[in-house]
Amino acid sequence: MPNISRLTARHHRLPSARPRRVAMLSVHTSPLHQPGTGDAGGMNVYIVELARQLAELGTEVEIFTRATAGAREPVVELAPGVLVRHVDAGPYEGLSKEELPAQLCAFTHGVMQAWAEQRPGYYDLVHSHYWLSGHVGWLAAQRWGVPLVHAMHTMAKVKNASLATGDTPEPQARIIGETQVVEAADRLIANTDDEAAQLVRFYDADPARTAVVHPGVNLERFSPGDGRAAARARLGLPQDAVIPLFAGRIQPLKAPDILLYAVRELLDREPALRGRLVVPVVGGPSGSGLARPERLHKLAARLGIGDLVLFRPPVSQAALADWYRAASVLVMPSYSESFGLVAIEAQASGTPVIAAAVGGLPVAVRHEETGFLIDGHDPADYASALRRFAEHPRLADRMGEAAARHARRFGWDTAAAGTLGVYADAIGERRFRSGAAAGLRSAHG
């Protein structure tokens, strides 16, 4: 394993070179959008929660995102010390993520306009999220003379290596763009050791400039609360039901169809379970799932379980916590996950997880302690794991208690402290290089 930095609150003191103000870039999805629909998902939650915590620790954050509604204010205060700046770049509606590269010039112009209105040295660092933002950050950081810290969140080469059946591969243009951003960034933040290793292996990232900082979870919002029974009562769910939950964007990458096939397999083995099963699917179509938004509904009907599946639109984070609490288990059969915030949120709420053993999920879930990790995507394997919860009603409670304890390791205060450590390293290295260059010029003056 390359020598990759690991930064956590336990091992890294808050840096003295803490930036006063960070320009955070999120081109393709706004932190104000509802997670679980369109392109809004875990990255939105990540940006919002990280920015809030950074502000609480004394670093102001201004988040630049593409304007998607004409009525929205140009600048919105998300929280004390956190501003969201809406940049006009292309039409407000109707642009897919794949069409956004053509708008990066306009977006960059808007970012530069906002910077030009401020005093010199207004931003101390640029933190970009996803490769589209990385290209804007690359130019902005060079123009402002500040470090660029980049978080990939997902990688085209990794996604293409484990595509769901019928899913569309990421284009070569994205792969080229990601490679350029990796080379340009002063520091790269990976969610897990596995993601850091993928950056090195697939994109030739410099291990010395790659740091691992686990994402966090809002432990005040996601907690066991008043328990499973109370959550089920609020949601109108039967108290004695076996409830496997899917929560997230409905697209082939997230594989909600695997859950439906697994439920059908489980019923074939145990027909008597039909009267006890309720299968909520909470989320909206996204990405390549938008091409056939009705696909999952039709699959449920074809499998003969349409009466068991509850399709619900994306909900607020507070309401989502109740769905987690109400579930017997969260099922996450994704083909690729850089970390899997949903898995940590569910566990923090006292609910175990059945997840594919991909990406960061083996970090998020402790196999046979807080849930089960499944190798591959065979519905029969997921059905076997579900059967254990059906046959042993206390299993959800026992694993849920362990899951809640495990999730407490992932507070956003820990993630923010680690991120500040990455910022400090990037700023310190930039200052050292600048000082060395100035000394060299003086020596040859």
Q: Give the bridge partners for 86, in sequence order.
A: 65
Give me the phi and psi of 291, to 5 degrees please. -65, -30
35 a known binding residue? Answer: yes
Give me the phi and psi of 47, to 5 degrees please. -65, -45
Structure token pair of residue 324: 């987690």
97 a known binding residue? Answer: yes
89 a known binding residue? Answer: no
Longest CA span, the chain: 87
143 a known binding residue? Answer: no
345 a known binding residue? Answer: yes
Q: What is the dihedral of CA 255, 336, 318, 261, to 10 degrees?
A: 20
355 a known binding residue? Answer: no
Structure token pair of residue 319: 């309401």
Q: Using N-to-C axis directions, what is the helix angle for 394-407 and 228-235, rounded to 10°?
A: 100
Angle, alpha carbons 121-137-49 (nearest 5°): 90
157 a known binding residue? Answer: no
298 a known binding residue? Answer: no
37 a known binding residue? Answer: no
20 a known binding residue? Answer: no
Q: Which residue carries 């070569």 as its tokens?
A: 172
249 a known binding residue? Answer: yes
362 a known binding residue? Answer: no
251 a known binding residue? Answer: no
41 a known binding residue? Answer: yes
Q: What is the CA radius of gyration of the chain?
A: 22
315 a known binding residue? Answer: yes
28 a known binding residue? Answer: yes
413 a known binding residue? Answer: no
Nearest to 194 by CA among 65, 350, 298, 338: 338
119 a known binding residue? Answer: no
42 a known binding residue? Answer: yes
326 a known binding residue? Answer: no
Q: Which residues are annotated as a binding site for Mg(2+)?
A: 324-325, 327, 351
Q: Which residues are annotated as a binding site for 1D-myo-inositol 3-phosphate?
A: 28, 39-44, 97, 130, 154, 174
Q: Which residues are annotated as a binding site?
A: 28, 34-35, 39-44, 97, 130, 154, 174, 249, 254, 315, 324-325, 327, 337, 345, 351
Q: Which residues are annotated as a binding site for UDP-N-acetyl-alpha-D-glucosamine?
A: 34-35, 42, 249, 254, 315, 337, 345
